[in-house]
Structure 1
Amino acid sequence: MIYKSLGTVIRGVKARISRMAHLNGIPFGWQARFYDHIIRNQDEMNRIATYIYHNVSQWDLDELNKAE
């Protein structure tokens, strides 16, 4: 079994997604900053999952959305 660090796995995922977007003409870029957080229980995971699910529909209202 090959063990890889989390950073290596994340870099691979980001590279594949970026390549797929580029090859398909999809305008795409990664967010420059992010917030790491350890999910400690099921309630917290459910709250975060709900936030992620609804976040897409709120993007046009987000002050950090620089789309014109």
Structure 2
Amino acid sequence: MLATIETLIRKFHGRIHEAAGFVIAYFDDPAQTQGCALAIATQTHREVEWCGCQLSVLVYGLRG
């Protein structure tokens, strides 16, 4: 599932940072952020928070 999240972030041209059990992604445009957040939520059934050009997903304990 982590690989799916990272693939979706790259698909929407985001930059990835992993810290403290979260994947945090940064985008150039809020529309990219929202599109990616909705795609992640739909495909992984994980809660995604986004604001402006940043999103975060709790991935603590996920593998692959």
TM-score (norm 1): 0.26
Q: Which of the two has greater strand per residue?
A: 2
Q: Which of the two has greater helix per residue?
A: 1
**Higher RCO (CA < 8 A, seq sep 6+):** 2
TM-score (norm 2): 0.28
